[in-house]
Amino acid sequence: MNLTHPWFPLLVALAVLIHRLTAGSWRQWALLLVSAGFVLTWKTGSVLAVLLVISISYASTHLAGSDRGAKSRVIVTAITLLTAVLAVFRYHDQVSRLLASLGWGVTVSGAVGVSYIVFQAISYIVDASRGDAKPLNLRELSLFYAFFPKFVAGPIVRVREMFAPGQGQDPDDATFVMGLVRIFYGAVKKFAIADLLALGLVDRVFGNPALMSGPEAFFGAVGYTIQLYADFSGYTDMALGTAMLLGYRLPENFSRPFAAVDLSDFWRRWHITLSSWLRDYVYIPLGGSRVAAWRINLNLLVTFLVAGIWHGSGWTFVVWGLMHGVGLVFERLIGVHGLHRRRDLSLGLKIFAVAATFLYVALAFVFFRAESVHSAIQVLERIFTGPATFDNMDWKLASALAAGFFLQFVPRRIQEAPARFLAALPWPVWTAVMLLGAATIQYLSDVSPRPFIYGGF
């Protein structure tokens, strides 16, 4: 069951009802039961992956002991096993073919959410070994991984965020209504922008670039960047909004990424929980910025190579990751690294920096979206060699492109104004809004919703 499934609003309503009727540890058990039911709606691989991750995490944090050497060996073993779990389920097709070639009639199915829960598990095990996270009991650990609002595509949550003081308590009126509004915002981003761009422009450009004009290929590349943002941030809005209804504040994943003035600024704003995870558990352990210049550059390349491989096994993801790594190294070499920290940028220079960063990010995302490196190169060639016509563009696509780009610049206080207004009204209005929101999402879901893009990672 995805967040766009017609039955998902009913699952959320059931979870909210149970949440209101329970307290203490019973509330966690009840929420875990709902989350387990959600996980069971996916393939067997998802269930097996969650059980394996829970088992490895629990064993490693409760059996490590106090001896430093033994603890290190347990951590290394646990991370190795978790990486193996990620590899088996993330690249299940290749694993199945390998098993078939060995004469084993075993087919490995994919596992939704495995990339996210494995990264969460690694952070938990490392943080627990450092004393930065308390060892969780089995109930807490299971809820940490299976919590249904974030199960499909994150955000990548740390233990200290999931179980911070006040988490899981009954939300106040303003928080509850803000949760409803965020779910609605997420649905609008998903259906009115992301899916419209995918069906009307992006799929056609990447499906057969030879038939596109130069401007259409260009807007197809830009359109995919906006589609990906609307799709992923739409999912995040729905996930965080659902969690808010249950009294949980999950970390934000986006902060106006298209306003970035350099690549390091972009990664402070885009998929924030992944970029912070890569910083804390890959880049800094490699030496971070505390080493010689050549090592810093190498650390950046390795970190973003890991980012590419995390997204998929194809060479397209490797190229995408390395493009960001090389871009960050280039910024350091020409002295524009950290441009976002400068307060003396003129308006003209800032606009140029934002445009240049966005175009480079869109160029890299061509490889992210394409089925192969050759296909990506075809799209890029078409941008510069195709005829200058707009035969396949219309006002709906232009509106979706503009909305997807400029809506992120709307101040948060304006986005939250409807929630503040509704929170001041009597509770029957909230009920009406919740029912209307559920009906709207269910209606939109009936229009052949596409899977969330990051649900595949």
Q: What is the per-residue burial (b if ≥16 Cβ within 10 Å, else e) of 332-346? A: beeebbebbeeeeee
148: number of Cβ within 10 Å: 27
Active site residue 311: yes
Helix 68-90 to helix 44-63 angle (10° resolution) is: 170
Instruction: Give Cβ neighbours of residue 421 (< 8 Å, ≥ 6 apart).
Output: none
Instruction: Give Cβ neighbours of residue 342 (< 8 Å, ≥ 6 apart).
Output: none
Which value, to the nearest 10 degrees, does the dihedral of the CA atoms of residues 96, 99, 100, 103 take?
-160
Helix-then-strand count for the chain, H and E: 22, 0
* Catalytic residue (choose from 92, 271, 311, 337): 311
Q: What are phi and psi of 129, to 5 degrees?
A: -70, -30
Pick the closest to residue 15 from 40, 33, 42, 3 (CA basis): 33
Which amino acid type is present at position 454? Y
Report how far residue 93's alpha carbon sits from residue 90's, in angstroms, rounded to the nearest whole number: 9
Helix-, strand-, coil-residue percentages of the chain, each rounded to 5? 75, 0, 25
Angstrom CA distances, 382 to 206, 235, 358, 363, 379, stand at: 11, 32, 19, 13, 5
CB 457 within 8 A of CB 8: no
Q: Which residues are catalytic?
A: 311
